[in-house]
Amino acid sequence: MNKVIANAEEAIKDISDGAVIMIGGFGLCGIPENCIAALVKKKVKGLTCISNNAGVDDFGIGLMLQNKQVKKMISSYVGENAEFERQLLSGELEVELIPQGTLATRCLAAGYGMPAIYTPAGVGTEVAQGKETRNFNGKDYLLEFAFEAGFAIVKAWKGDRDGNLIYHETARNFNPLMAMAGRITIAEVEELVPAGGLNPDSIHTPGIYVHHIFQGKGYQKRIEQRTVRKKV
């Protein structure tokens, strides 16, 4: 199976209006910049995006929000995006906020083929409304279902032609979990090498999870918030 494709535009060609997409990254670290830019250019609408956060106003998923492409955000943290806030308060955007550990574990469950998990996170809060609660050994747990996403788009540091991926330090974040969980997983990498060009002991995502891979370009590697000390 030839997994290598030419570019981001080809990678996302099958993503259509109304799709459910997992988008890797944490803040602006490890986000699939090329695929997001291609989705903005394609102008697909009515998307449900599963992502730890919503980027910032002028970068990442924030560009898709500005373009009114996102119908629903399923996220853990969304505090850096003024347009997100505006759309939420105006009722233009549906939002499901999820504890970060639950978000990660629901991705993991999808990757493992598990239909659901039980978690203590959110018990006794608004998160628990309308959900089944079960007691194990004297402690209550919420039933949470595995995500069902048609696509997962992730970003890796290096990848080979078989789809094996290596992430760089903190850019690893949600990418391995989402790569496992998407029905179709698209990986963009900074460096694409021949099959066998990666140390097997260093691979984070085995190629069996990846359907399409391409070498990206023009990565900005922006910092969400830069905090520096004053000169003494």
Q: How confident is the model at residue 226, as a pLDDT?
A: 76
Average predicted confidence (pLDDT) for the chain? 94
Burial class (CB in 10 A: 0-12, 13-18, 19+), 45: middle
Q: How confident is the model at residue 223, as a pLDDT?
A: 76
Q: How confident is the model at residue 55, as a pLDDT?
A: 86
Phi, psi of 83 (to 5 degrees): -70, -35
Report the SS3 class of residue 180. helix
- 220-229: list long-range contacts, CB under 8 Å, 24+ apart: 220/33, 220/59, 222/28, 222/59, 223/28, 224/27, 224/28, 224/29, 224/56, 224/80, 225/80
Q: Which domains are seen in the chain, by residue range? A: 16-97+149-215 (3.40.1080.10), 102-146 (no CATH)
DSSP letter string, 52-112: S---BTTBTHHHHHHTT-EEEEEES--TT-HHHHHHHHHTSSEEEE--HHHHHHHHHHHHH
pLDDT digits (tens, 9 = 90+) for 113-156: 999 999 999 999 999 999 999 999 999 999 999 999 999 999 99
CA–CA gap between residue 212 and residue 1 (Å, rounded): 10
Entry pTM: 0.92
pLDDT digits (tens, 9 = 90+) for 21-74: 999 999 899 999 999 999 999 999 999 999 999 888 889 999 999 999 999 999
Q: How confident is the model at residue 103, as a pLDDT?
A: 96
Q: Quick check: 222 pLDDT over 90? A: no
Q: Residue 67's closest CA among 38, 89, 26?
A: 38
